[in-house]
């Protein structure tokens, strides 16, 4: 709720400033992990909710490349409030890129993420598949946690991906694990447009 704060930066003069809604928000570090389908999907659902409140939402995808997907197509239809950046080179087991190229792409994505964490641009920042990058050792986990902890106190961050490292789980405010019980891929059904991409 907005209100008035009295600021005494000059003892001879009281300055009245408007307190923003951001100042009263307690930003959460949320981690969505597990071997089941739906981690990115869950984060995108939260993005939709945040956009409904007029928030600025930024999504940085670490592993995913320029392949067409529904979220990218949707982001292109939004004139304001949503930014989406794909920085990866594709799934590592299918990619023609070398390990060094994957690491370079992850480092470039992390530089973009750090820029967002240090600015006041996004109310909600999604770091899609960051867990995978950390598990593979492509980024220094202590550097990542340090940057996450220094973000503006009102900024929410969602991290997705399998195999969230224990250190990151400990640093997170909320952790959800999506468990696979059954998946049609195992019976030969290919990934479905609008459901998985």
Kindly list the domain boundaries of the chain, sorted by start residue.
26-187
Task: Check residue 93 and give its pLDDT.
Answer: 54
Residue 96 binned pLDDT confidence (cut-offs 50, 70, 90): confident
CB-facing half-sphere around the CA of 188: CA atoms within 13 A = 0
Q: Is 60 exceeded by the pLDDT of residue 15? A: no
CATH architecture of 26-187: 3-Layer(aba) Sandwich (3.40)
Report the interhelical angle of 99-118 vs 141-149 (nearest 10°): 20
Q: What letter would DSSP give residue 34?
A: S
Mean pLDDT (whole number) for 58-71? 86
pTM score, whole prediction: 0.83
Digit-coded pLDDT (tens) for 129-182: 999 999 999 999 999 999 999 999 999 999 999 999 999 999 999 999 999 999
3-state secondary structure of 161: coil
Task: Check residue 8 and give its pLDDT.
Answer: 44
């Amino acid at each position: 709720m907005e209100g008035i704060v009295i600021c005494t930066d000059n003892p001879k003069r009281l300055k009245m400033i408007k307190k923003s809604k951001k100042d009263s928000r307690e930003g959460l570090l949320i981690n969505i992990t597990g071997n089941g389908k739906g981690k990115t999907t869950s984060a995108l659902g939260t993005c939709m909710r945040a956009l409904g409140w007029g928030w600025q939402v930024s999504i940085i995808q670490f592993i995913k490349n320029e392949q067409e997907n529904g979220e990218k197509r949707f982001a292109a239809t939004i004139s304001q409030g949503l930014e989406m950046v794909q920085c990866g080179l594709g799934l590592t087991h299918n990619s023609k890129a070398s390990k060094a190229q994957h690491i370079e792409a992850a480092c470039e994505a992390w530089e973009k993420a750090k820029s967002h964490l240090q600015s006041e641009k996004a109310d909600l920042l999604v770091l899609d598949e960051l867990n995978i990058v950390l598990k593979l050792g492509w980024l220094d986990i202590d550097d990542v946690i340090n940057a996450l902890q220094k973000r503006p106190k009102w900024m929410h961050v969602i991290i997705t991906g399998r195999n969230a490292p224990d250190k990151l789980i400990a640093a997170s405010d909320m952790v959800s694990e999506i468990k696979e019980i059954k998946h049609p891929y195992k019976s030969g059904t290919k990934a479905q447009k609008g459901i998985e991409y």
